[in-house]
Amino acid sequence: MKIEILGTGCAKCNALLENTRKAVERLGLEDCTIVKIQDFNEIARRGVLVTPALLIDGAAKVVGRAATPAEIEGLLEEAAGG
């Protein structure tokens, strides 16, 4: 599973990254990669116009806010098929 955090480095972007790391750790996911993308051109290439954003396997799941660890856990479980 590939998880992308899109954002320029603002407080909400950093919170989303930290909350994602917590969710991955809580679920014990070992087969996932978290990538932080800060380059605006790369962000726009993914079709995202508002940051922060959370993409799971290329699909935007959260845009414009920092989701809670619990919310991210649910999204990750859904993406994993469970």
Residue 6 pairs in a beta bridge with 37, 53
Nearest to 56 by CA among 75, 81, 69, 70: 75
Enzyme catalytic residues: 10, 13
SS3 state at 14? helix
